[in-house]
């Protein structure tokens, strides 16, 4: 038997709020990134990335991501909540775009704390594409984009867990498989290297998918 690794035990009550946030952010990795497009009641677009994100349910199809408070800076104009949350509360609509390698740098630019109402699409040099079922646009170049309507918002401390029900999905034909192993509308996000989704690590670190390993289950189908 090998020796157990030397570990440090940290009680949550001994950590400050920011310390706990950084511990979670830097430990739980890689994380997928929800690139969320919204629009305010005047139709002004907003775009921001969120890496506390994943699938909540397949039936109904619901995606979820956490929105933290707006940083207190001069650019915030004193607003308490981020435009993403305010817009979704006002309109009940959003588009969750996946982030491909080709758009990694523009995605990071959209995380800039711009004044409320300012357009991140223009700031990052991105082209919006009109959606079909909701008002916010999607990002041109995103390999998969989910048009969503609000399912529920859950307040958790100073964060809000936003859940959107998918009403329409846009898929780049280069990763679309169609019928595969008896099921229709399958996709393979790994099929084109430049379109593979990037993941978030800690700090300013991101990850690109380069090595993929197949591990089959012994008790039934794997896909």
DSSP code per residue over 1-41: -PPPPP-----GGGS-HHHHHHHHHHHS-SB--EEEEEE-T
Residue 9 has phi, psi (to 5 degrees) of -100, 125
107 within some domain: yes
| Local structure of residue 51 (DSSP, 8 states) | S
C-alpha to C-alpha distance for 117 and 84, rounded to whole angstroms: 10
Collapsing DSSP to helix, strand or coil, 207 comes out as strand
Name the helix (H) or strand (E) containing 105: helix 104-109
Q: Count of domains in the chain?
A: 1
pLDDT single digits (tens) 139-189: 999 999 999 999 999 999 999 999 999 999 999 999 999 999 899 999 999
131 within some domain: yes
C-alpha to C-alpha distance for 179 and 218, rounded to whole angstroms: 25
Return the CATH number at 77: 2.30.110.10
222 within some domain: no
5 within some domain: no
**Tokens describing residue 143:** 């390999």
217 within some domain: no
The answer to whether 39 and 91 are in contact (CB under 8 A) is yes
10 within some domain: no
The answer to whether 132 and 154 are in contact (CB under 8 A) is no
119 within some domain: yes
CA atoms within 13 A on the CB side of 185: 5
The answer to whether 89 and 153 are in contact (CB under 8 A) is yes
**Tokens describing residue 195:** 């379109």
Domain that holds residue 168: 16-207
pLDDT tens-place values along the chain, 223 residues long: 567 789 999 999 999 999 999 999 999 999 999 999 999 999 999 999 999 999 999 999 999 999 999 877 655 555 688 999 999 999 999 999 999 999 999 999 999 999 888 999 999 999 999 999 999 999 999 999 999 999 999 999 999 999 999 999 999 999 999 999 899 999 999 999 999 999 999 999 999 999 999 999 888 767 7
Of 67, 51, 48, whose CA–CA distance to 106 is shortest?
48
C-alpha to C-alpha distance for 66 and 36, rounded to whole angstroms: 11
Give the model's pLDDT for residue 117: 86
C-alpha to C-alpha distance for 216 and 116, rounded to whole angstroms: 48
Give the model's pLDDT for residue 52: 97
User: Could you tell me the maximum CA-CA distance found in the chain, to the nearest angstrom?
Assistant: 65
Give the model's pLDDT for residue 79: 60
- State if pTM tops 0.85: yes
Cα 165–Cα 26–Cα 102 angle in degrees, nearest 5: 60
């Amino acid at each position: 038997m090998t020796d157990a690794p030397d570990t440090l035990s940290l009680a949550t009550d001994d950590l400050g709020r920011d310390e706990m946030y950084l511990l979670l952010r830097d430990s739980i990795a890689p994380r997928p990134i929800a690139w969320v497009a919204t629009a305010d009641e005047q139709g002004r677009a907003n775009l921001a990335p969120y890496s506390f994100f994943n699938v909540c349910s397949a039936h109904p199809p619901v995606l979820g991501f956490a929105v933290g408070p707006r940083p207190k800076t001069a650019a915030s104009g004193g607003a308490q909540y981020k435009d993403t949350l305010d817009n979704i509360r006002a309109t009940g609509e959003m588009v969750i775009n996946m982030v491909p390698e080709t758009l990694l740098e523009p995605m990071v630019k959209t995380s800039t704390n711009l004044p409320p109402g300012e357009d991140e699409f223009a700031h990052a040099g991105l082209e919006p594409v009109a959606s079909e079922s909701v008002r916010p646009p999607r990002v041109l170049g995103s390999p998969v984009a989910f048009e969503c309507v609000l399912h529920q918002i859950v307040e958790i401390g100073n964060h809000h867990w936003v859940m959107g029900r998918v009403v329409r999905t846009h898929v780049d034909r280069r990763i679309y498989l169609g019928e595969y192993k008896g099921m229709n509308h399958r996709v393979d996000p790994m099929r084109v290297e430049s379109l593979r989704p990037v993941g978030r690590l800690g700090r300013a670190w991101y990850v690109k998918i380069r090595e993929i390993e197949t591990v089959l289950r012994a008790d039934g189908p794997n896909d």
